[in-house]
Structure 1
Amino acid sequence: MGLVIVSLLLGWLAAGTGLILLAGFGLVLLLGLLYTVFGLSWLEIERVSQLYNLPVASLRWRERNAPGFSSYIRSVGRNLGNGRMWAAFGNFVLATLLGAGMLGALRWSISAAILAFAPMSNTSSVTLEGWELSSAQAPWLIPLALAGVGVVVALVFLHRAISTAIIGTIARETELAQKAQTSSVQREGAVRAAEVERTRIECDLHDGVQPRLVSVAMALGLAHQQIDTEPQQAKELIAEAHTSTKAAITELRQLTRGIYTSVLEDRGLDAALSAVAGRSHIPVQLDIQLPKRMEKNAEAAMYFAIAEALTNAAKHSRASWCRVTVRVREFEGHPWLWARIEDNGIGGAHIQPGGGLDGIHHRVLAAGGTLHLDSPQGGPTAVEVNVPCAS
């Protein structure tokens, strides 16, 4: 079948090339030939990847990225220069040639094995591929039959070596491209998460701690001016400054807790989330089942994602309760931290640039994880977070 297909394709190519000057009809034939080669290449990748268990991504047609005929022509050009397609098609041609050789060797081996027993039928002579032998010489065909079997086996292994080399190279290129894309997404997520975190810290400092410190400075300045003339009022100002200082210290502690928590480092995710739930204005039900301490970066990413999700729920959801579920799940043979944060609020949450969910999203991306938000109007809201980890 391969020889027939290759012969038809060569004839197709010759006809298309010869008819180009006939009102461009040959271009239509050549375009159809390109689609046919693409289909054969796709089939070859699927065949070899399934036959030898190679993790190869399917061959995809490179679609046009804009409407219009010119964009279609550019997409045809991109597909015409698709190295994966031509490598797979070359493997198809080589497999066809090897298959033809294997069938010839197999036919030779079977014929030789049958003719080797010619003396048992009282035949005076035998002929194999134009080679005439007497009945007495026929048993010498047995080694030739075994040699033919050896050629068949050798061609089978040669096909495996060549196919895995060509299609395996495509698999490695695909894997490297996927890793590069994943690294790019993680890098962008880390940069964006750092930017959102910096903006949050600036807002907290500007709107909370800074005004309190300014108030403390003003109160102490007035007390300094009045300490000799109006000592009682100066004492009141100092007391006010003392109260504002304690409030500023509390806000700074909360701010640093948002950056990093020592409880997470010392006692793990369960204890850190218990502390977050205890500070929440909304009752939080925790359901955390972890077999052991997980990888540090994964725990940190999951902690900040859950803490920020609970903060958002307290600010915007109007919920009366929240539920946090944390588990370890297996995915592709590796452990992943999985969490689901639910509330019975009004819903309608969405990821917007600079928002809390945007920060969660990019922090999870930076850790190589995923985030899924389900928040229809009217509620409820559910956030699912998956982060890869190592035990």
Structure 2
Amino acid sequence: MTTETATPGQTSAARPPLRILLTILHLAALGVLGGVTIGLLSGLFGAGFGLLLLFGIGVFLLIAFVYALYGLGWFEFARVASLYRVRVAPLTLRTSPHPGFGGWLRSIGRQAIDGRMWRGIANFAIAAALGAVVLRLAWGAVWSAIIAFAPSAGLDTIAGPFGSEVDAAWAPLIGIAGFLAAVAGLIGLALLHRVISLALVAQSREAELTEKVRTTTAQREGAVRAADVERTRIERDLHDGVQPRLVSVGMTLGLAHQKIDDDPAAAKELIAEAHTSTKAAITELRQLARGIHASVLDDRGLDAALSALAGRSHIPVSLDVRLDGRCSREAEAAVYFAIAESLTNAAKHSRAGEARVTVRVRDVDTLWARVEDNGVGGAQVQPGGGLDGISNRVLAAGGTVRLDSPLGGPTALEVSVPCAS
């Protein structure tokens, strides 16, 4: 006995008659709802375009139109994936790396020209047109079944299509032939819909590999940039902090060595000063190492690591962390780094009086965090800066970053990282 396993991206071969019946039912439903949906979308677009120059509120209608298109495309991707049991990457909103309101508008523009979304909409429109034909064929099948039994009613003629009349003697033959033709048409349309849907919606193996290569390339570039930014930060902290302190310790000990015979008391004071500077250097090195990676993150998880981070913050931090389990080390490290850098920026640059950190697991497998402060706002991503480091670190983990920092505040940073990154 052998068992066949469907590979990802291929349709399930189990019970084809049931799959055809489900496809016909899908088409019939779209035949009823498709025209109404397309009409509503057309009306929304027409109203938005017409009011664009008149009152300006047309902009909001056009934005709603883009989101409605996205919802329709998402529905079509989910419908085809469920109907044919194929692995289809869900349709996701396009995002812009630029922060603030301008970045959001860019995201709307990118979504409006998203090719995958328009393929889903095209598939919906074609399915709606096929569904209208399916409804007529279904009515034809019912009519054919009825006239096949017409002679039993004792009628001489039967009303046919287009105002014609059918002799009762020929009614059974015409009814059977019409019924078989209608059923054949329904099956043919179901198969046609399958071919079109898989071509428009389901990704081919080549397209899937191309998308995977593109994503991997972007992640690798983000990792390289993140490593470069991190190296620059470490070099800056060592050069500006620990290195001068250690040089001072060396000079102090040199002076103490010169005075140890002639002025032991002064030498002791210098040694005590060097000891204090050494402890301060050790503290700075410990903080620097903690900035590279927090050991408590591996030992006790993100919740404990963030509690320790909030305790060391120079501004009050309100934590709201609700996690049921652990995510991957890379995901937790990326989110921890983003929160730590955000709190540092809030304390150094935004003149914030307090900050709030919220962490959740969304959509089952996405680690999401939001850091908000009440500072002056105006934060921007600068090459080599802290926000640039956050973006690169999160991108390397396969996640996304959203920054909202209008002038006058508040500043809010949201990161989303796959738990299995």
For the superposition of Structure 1 and Structure 2, which TM-score range results when normalised by the shorter chain?
0.5 to 0.7
1:220 matched to which residue of 2? 253
Using the size of structure 1 for normalisation, the TM-score is 0.62
1:297 alignment partner in structure 2: 330
Maintained 8 Å contact 2:225/2:392: yes
The alpha-carbon deviation at position 195 of structure 1 amounts to 1.2
| Matching residue's letter, 1:339 | R
Worse-matched range after superposition: 303-312 or 162-171:
162-171
Where structure 2 has 5 or more consecutive residues not aligned to the other structure, the ranges are 1-71, 82-87, 93-117, 158-166
Contact conserved, 2:343 with 2:355, CA < 8 A, in 1? no
CA RMSD of aligned residues (A): 4.7
Give the secondary structure class of the aligned counterpart of 1:53: helix
Cα distance in 2 between the residues matched to 1:51 and 1:382: 32
Letter in 2 for 1:306: I
Q: Which residue of 1 aligns with 2:383?
A: 353
The CA deviation at 1:153 is: 4.2
Matched, 1:326 2:358: yes
Residues 311 and 109 from structure 1, CA distance in 2 versus in 1: closer, same or farther, beyond 3 angstroms? closer
Whether 1:252 and 2:285 are equivalent positions in the alignment is yes
Counterpart residue number, 2:234 = 201
**Distance apart, 1:281 and its partner CA:** 2.1
Gap runs ≥5 in structure 1:
1-44, 59-83, 125-133
* Structure with bigger RCO (C-alpha 8 Å, 6+ apart): 2
Percent of pairs with identical residues: 54
Question: In the TM superposition, what are the counterparts of 1:16-55 in structure 2 within 5 Å?
Answer: 49=76, 53=80
Alpha carbons of structure 1 residues 243 and 184: separation in structure 2 relative to 1, 3 Å = same
Quick check: 135-144 or 306-315, which moved more? 135-144
Rounded Cα–Cα distance in structure 1 between residues aligned with 2:328 and 2:249: 43
Match of 1:7 in 2: none
Counterpart of 1:380? 410
Cα distance, 1:293 vs structure 2: 3.5
**Counterpart secondary structure, 2:253:** helix
Offset of residue 279 of structure 1: 1.8
1:192 aligns with 2:222: no
Aligned pairs (5 A) from 1:248-287: 248-287=281-320
Distance 2:337 2:246 in 1: 28
Matched letter for residue 282 of structure 2: I
Q: Give 1:205 shift.
A: 0.7
Matched, 1:342 2:373: yes
Cα separation, 1, equivalents of 2:78 and 2:156: 44
- Per the TM alignment, residue 354 of structure 1 is displaced from its structure 2 partner at its CA by 1.4
Displacement of 1:141 = 6.4
Task: Summarize the Cα distance change of 1:218–1:173 in structure 2 as closer, same or farther, 3 Å threshold.
Answer: same
| 1:342 alignment partner AA | D
Residues 119 and 136 of structure 1 are in contact (CA less than 8 Å); yes or no, is this contact kept in structure 2? no
Task: Write the letter of the residue equivalent to 2:400.
Answer: T
Number of positions where the alignment pairs a residue of Structure 1 with one of Structure 2: 311
- Give SS of 1:282's match: coil
What secondary structure does 2:378 align onto? Answer: coil
Corresponding residue SS for 1:187: helix
Tell me how far apart the structure 2 counterparts of residues 234 and 202 of structure 1 sit (CA, whole Å): 33
Kindly provide the amino acid, as one letter, of the partner of residue 401 in structure 2: L
Larger radius of gyration: 1
* CA gap 1:145/1:109 in 2 versus in 1, 3 angstroms: farther
Partner in structure 2 of residue 34 of structure 1: none
- Contact 1:112–1:144 at 8 Å: present in 2 too? no
